[in-house]
């Protein structure tokens, strides 16, 4: 019979509690779209871990854009009288930077994420990204931590969940491709770019996303089409594209919610 000392047993016990204990009711981050907020039982839970990935090949940019939008929402003060100046930490392994590119400052500012509130951390290996994410999530001066990861196993996501509960910030794992691997994440999103409303003056329309919520521990799953307002730094429902709108008029089923 093997004997495990108390110091060795405590980390394993903590990981088990992450699965057994209900999540603390932290701050809810509302999208401002009624049907999506209702599906999330009031909004996206902070102090928790969430997974984001592309819905199809070549949609990694859309997934990263959605993660950035969530980070911007996390920066909002919890009340009008709050003066919180928390920041965002974005963690990127070297191989991901070579494959997907790096963040672009002017584009971040347009999304609503000023560079003075952003820390970009480049690490040589994926395991370094996991360690850095866990440590950053424990810090209460951080509103959101996003890490670009190829994969994270169940043990890793348990540790990240505990760290997010401790710090109270938003934990975002950005996958290069989605799979059905088990994790302790509160939600899992598959993201693709979508056609938004056209600019009346002939310019580009707002950034738009086709969101599929494929895992939700607080409510139902579903699909939504959303646009990002670059002036208000907020989501709003995107109009249906012509094929989807025609199907809706014909009475054909659609997975998209308004």
- For the stretch 28-62, pLDDT in tens is 999 999 999 999 999 999 999 999 999 999 999 99
User: Do 189 and 212 form a contact (C-beta atoms < 8 A)?
Assistant: yes
Strands (E), the chain: 28-29, 44-45, 48-54, 87-93, 118-123, 142-149, 170-175, 187-193, 207-216, 222-229, 234-237, 256-257
Domain 45-77+84-195+205-257 carries which CATH code? Answer: 3.40.50.300
Which tokens go with 197?
A: 């409303």
Query: What distance in Å separates the CA atoms of residue 173 and residue 48, rounded to the nearest whole number?
Result: 11
Q: Give the range with max mean pLDDT: 25-29, 36-40, 237-241.
A: 36-40
Question: How many angstroms separate the CA atoms of 116 and 118, rounded?
Answer: 6
Q: pLDDT digit string (tens) for 148-204?
A: 987 789 999 999 999 999 999 999 999 988 877 899 999 999 999 998 666 666 557
Per the listing, tokens 């209460």 go with 140
Check whether 251 has a pLDDT greater than 80: no
Kindly list the domain boundaries of the chain, sorted by start residue.
Answer: 45-77+84-195+205-257
Mean pLDDT score of the chain, rounded to an integer? 83
What is the largest distance, in Å, between two alpha-carbon atoms of the chain?
A: 76
Confidence of residue 1 (pLDDT cuts 50, 70, 90): very low
The pLDDT score that the predictor gives to residue 214 is: 97
């Amino acid at each position: 019979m093997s004997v495990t000392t108390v110091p060795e047993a405590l980390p394993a016990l903590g990981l088990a509690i992450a699965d057994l204990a209900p999540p603390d009711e932290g701050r809810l981050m509302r999208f401002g779209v009624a049907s999506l907020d209702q599906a999330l039982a009031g909004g996206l839970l902070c102090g928790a871990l969430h997974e984001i990935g592309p819905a199809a090949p070549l949609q990694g940019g859309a997934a990263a854009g959605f993660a950035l939008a969530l980070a911007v929402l996390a920066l909002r003060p919890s009340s009008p009288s709050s003066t919180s100046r928390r920041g965002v930490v974005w963690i990127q392994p070297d191989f991901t930077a070579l494959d997907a590119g790096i963040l672009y400052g002017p584009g971040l500012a347009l999304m609503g994420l000023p560079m003075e509130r952003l820390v970009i951390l480049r690490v040589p290996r994926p395991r370094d990204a996991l360690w850095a994410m866990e440590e950053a999530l424990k810090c209460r001066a951080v509103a959101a931590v996003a890490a670009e990861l190829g994969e994270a196993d169940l043990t890793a996501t348990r540790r990240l969940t505990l760290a997010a509960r401790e710090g109270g910030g938003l934990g975002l794992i950005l996958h290069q491709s989605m799979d059905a691997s088990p994790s302790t994440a509160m939600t899992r999103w598959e993201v693709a770019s979508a056609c938004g409303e056209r600019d009346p003056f002939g310019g580009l329309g707002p950034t738009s996303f086709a969101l599929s919520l494929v895992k939700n521990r607080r409510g139902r799953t579903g699909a939504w089409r959303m646009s990002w307002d670059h002036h208000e730094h907020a989501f709003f429902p995107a109009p249906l594209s012509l094929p989807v709108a025609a199907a809706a008029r014909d009475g054909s089923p659609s997975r998209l919610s308004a």
